[in-house]
Amino acid sequence: MADRSALITGVTGQDGSYLAELLVGLGYRVTGIVRRLSSPNLTNISSVLSDVQLVDGDLMDQSSISQAVKVSQPDEVYNLAAQSFVATSFAQPVLTGEITGLGTLRLLEAVRANAPTARVYQASSSEMFGHVLTEPQDEQTPFHPRSPYGVAKVYSYWASVNYREAYSMYVANGILFNHESPRRGLEFVTRKITDGVAQIVAGKTKTLRLGNLDARRDWGYAPDYADLMHRTLAAPTPDDYVGATGESHSVREFVEVAFHLAGIDDWEKHVIIDPQYNRPSEVFNLRGNANKAKRTLGWEAKTRFADLVRIMVEADLQRYGIASR
């Protein structure tokens, strides 16, 4: 795949960093859009910093996005930037709508005007299914978002479909279920748990405060999903695909396995249920059916739940200087 070029929004995030590594490894010329922060946040892409061209841009700002598309002239555009934390979307709904919703429209307009033949990947989310009535969820399952984040993602999903239909652009949605890694932000529940467990083992704290332990998610491993993103744009025609493991587990199960792997079996003594982490409207249960991605793109989630938890617990123990148990 030499000589191909890709533009990634959200390159500093969990998924953007794994995708940048994958594409650099495949010989792509990779450009990443980064927004100005008072302290640069390039840790996730440290391994590919010399191979990725960084350009300033913000999904809130049309001119910088248009300029980034114009100068990079990408063959493929991956829109991974978002205000991606559901809990924050309740506290900052307008900002979330601006970035996670309208930001996609700004990028689609920038591509339409400056690189109309580029293939565009939109990071859609299982959070769009929200209040689910059927299980597992697939590409035909109706959307019923339960957060400002989910609402904004539904907007972006349909904007992407509309640009495909209205302008014959190549735009594809990846409807991805939760995917995690040692690069996951510390506020998300999986990483909060594995970091909390490591802190307890390191003697830095005794407790971990969590919200709804009964929520169930279909948790996969982020590098597997970066591979799916790339496969999605390699298909001859644009389409929308669910990415999922097909298994769902509760937050409680994640806690049990994580503590056990760190050598602690009486996890109940350490976990405090704190209602401040409950959401005004919760998504109780998500489990995806990725048969279409398997059939059409040859993709399957390789890393299963127990391995995912182990990878994350080991990485966080190591961060605190503790050898794996």
Which residues here bind ligand NAP, judged by CB under 6 A?
A: 9-10, 12-16, 33, 35, 37, 41, 58-60, 80-84, 99, 123, 125, 176, 178-179, 185
CA distance to 52, 85, 153, 183, per residue, from 217 (Å): 33, 15, 18, 18
Choose, by CB under 6 A, the member of 109, 239, 247, 282 that binds ligand G4F.
Answer: 282
To the query of whether residue 149 is one of the catalytic residues in this protein, the response is yes
Q: Which residues of 55-84 are buried (b: 16+ CB within 10 A; e: fewer)?
A: bebbbeebebbbbbbeebebbbbbbbbbbb
- Interhelix angle 222-234/14-25, nearest 10 degrees: 60
Q: Which does 311 bind (CB under 5 to 8 A by kind): ligand NAP, ligand G4F, none?
A: none
**Binding partner selected for residue 172 from ligand G4F, ligand NAP, none, CB under the kind-specific 5 to 8 Å limit:** none
Number of Cβ within 10 Å of residue 130's Cβ equals 23
> Are 311 and 181 a contacting pair, CB within 8 Å?
yes
**Residue from 251, 271, 308, 313 in contact with ligand G4F (CB under 6 A):** 251
CA 27 to centroid of chain Cα atoms: 23
Site for ligand G4F in 162-181 (CB under 6 A): 177-178
Q: Of the two residues 5 and 12, which places its CB atom closer to ligand NAP in the complex? A: 12
Q: How many Cα atoms occupy the beta-carbon half-sphere of 256 within 13 Å?
A: 9
The catalytic residue among 78, 149, 155, 157 is: 149
Q: Which residue is nearest to ligand NAP (CB)?
A: 13
Q: Which does 86 bind (CB under 5 to 8 A by kind): ligand G4F, ligand NAP, none?
A: ligand G4F
Between residue 187 and residue 246, which ones bind ligand G4F under the rule CB under 6 A?
187-189, 192, 210-212, 215, 217
Question: What residues are labeled active site?
Answer: 125, 127, 149
